[in-house]
Amino acid sequence: MIKVTVPATSANLGIGYDTLGMAVSLYSHFTFDHADTLTITGCPEEFQNRDNMVYVAFEQALEQWGMEPFPISIDIQTEIPVARGLGSSSTCVVAGIMGAAALTRRTVTREELVAMATALEGHPDNVAPALLGAAVCSFTPEGELPRCLRYNVSERLRFITIIPPYEVHTSEARKVVPQEVPLSTAVWQMGRIAGLTRGLETGDTELIAAANDDRLQEPYRRKLIPDYDAIRATCLEGGAKTIWISGSGSTLMAVTDDTIVAKFLQVRLREQFPTCETHILTCDTQGAQIEYL
């Protein structure tokens, strides 16, 4: 029996559309074991079948390695809500591949895992930080494997995470983003990506705030989150330096380097938005972990 623990991730980080992602201290836990028949527990009944994303990734990993699938039991215990912009699907893909490797005693590198998970998920911005930890800038050269640049994130930073009680599906969020942008917008983004990554490394919240001024996706996706303006105003008035949409939403993530400010802000958010789930998170530096039970 083995257990795979995978952190949640926040993709885009405001300015880094489809390129930046960060692992955060919210987790999903997956337990795998050999079994007589496929058994999946810990998730809603409609997902307890062969179409479960964890099992799909498990099967596809075996197929890629030239192995036949075999019956297993999977138990899923997660803190990460589905379709809220915190990488829940990526945790399933990563866990399925790692579970397949562990149960077949196959050794795989993190680089191989990133490549396989990217092929299954379609893009590396969530799976890369889920596997590597920290903040990661990813791109895939044509015909090559994904390249991942890992940035350590300052331990001083706190990420106040606000999760509304409604979903924003990635497919819908992508529809509202323009497919072509002016050259001036591209230039605007490029310098700010460098500023944001440096700010995360150094813990410079003023630099993070100055860099986090996205023109590619947030102006369009914010309209899909009814509470966006109110939550943003509350966070900035409450001492947060900046705020971004996590992934495609509906989760919002505010940034501060002051733990006391973060706690006071969390109280205010819970009072003003009682239906929203709130967390004070740090950056996860370990990425996905595996243990034998």
Determine whether the annotation assigns residue 93 to a binding site: no
> Looking at the predicted structure, is the pLDDT value of residue 143 above 80?
no
Residues 243 and 166 both lie in one domain: yes
pLDDT at residue 129, as a whole number: 96
CB atoms within 10 A of CB 108: 16
Determine whether the annotation assigns residue 84 to a binding site: yes
Determine whether the annotation assigns residue 8 to a binding site: no
Domain range enclosing 58: 2-152+284-292
The helix or strand, by DSSP H or E, that contains position 196, with its residue range, turns out to be helix 183-202
> Looking at the predicted structure, is the pLDDT value of residue 243 above 90?
yes
Determine whether the annotation assigns residue 81 to a binding site: yes
Angle (CA) 177 178 181, round 5°: 130
Residues 27 and 145 both lie in one domain: yes
pLDDT at residue 144, as a whole number: 80
Residues 48 and 170 both lie in one domain: no
> Looking at the predicted structure, is the pLDDT value of residue 244 above 90?
yes
pTM for the full predicted model: 0.92
pLDDT at residue 178, as a whole number: 87
Determine whether the annotation assigns residue 89 to a binding site: yes
Residues 45 and 142 both lie in one domain: yes
pLDDT at residue 283, as a whole number: 98
Determine whether the annotation assigns residue 88 to a binding site: yes
Residues 254 and 226 both lie in one domain: yes
Each residue's pLDDT tens digit, 95-112: 999 999 999 999 999 889
pLDDT band at 47 (very low <50, low <70, confident <90, very high): confident
In angstroms, the first-to-last Cα distance of the chain is: 5
Determine whether the annotation assigns residue 143 to a binding site: no
Determine whether the annotation assigns residue 83 to a binding site: yes
CB neighbour list of residue 253: distance below 8 Å, 6 or more residues apart: 10, 159, 160, 161, 162, 243, 244, 245, 246
On whether the CB atoms of residues 217 and 17 are closer than 8 A, the answer is yes
**CATH number for 179:** 3.30.70.890
Determine whether the annotation assigns residue 73 to a binding site: no
Compute the distance between CA of residue 178 and CA of residue 162 in angstroms, rounded to an integer: 26
Residues 91 and 18 both lie in one domain: yes
> Looking at the predicted structure, is the pLDDT value of residue 226 above 90?
yes
Q: Is 148 exposed, middle or buried (0-12, 13-18, 19+ CB in 10 A)?
A: buried
Determine whether the annotation assigns residue 110 to a binding site: no
pLDDT at residue 238, as a whole number: 96
**CATH number for 122:** 3.30.230.10
Residues 40 and 147 both lie in one domain: yes
Quickly tell me which residue has 């390249």 as its tokens.
147
Residues 163 and 132 both lie in one domain: no
Residues 78 and 48 both lie in one domain: yes
Range 258-272 average pLDDT: 97
Each residue's pLDDT tens digit, 148-179: 999 999 999 999 999 999 988 877 888 898 88
Range 56-80 average pLDDT: 95
The domain total for the chain is 2
One-character DSSP codes across 206-244: HHHHHH---SSSHHHHGGG-TTHHHHHHHHHHTT-SEEE
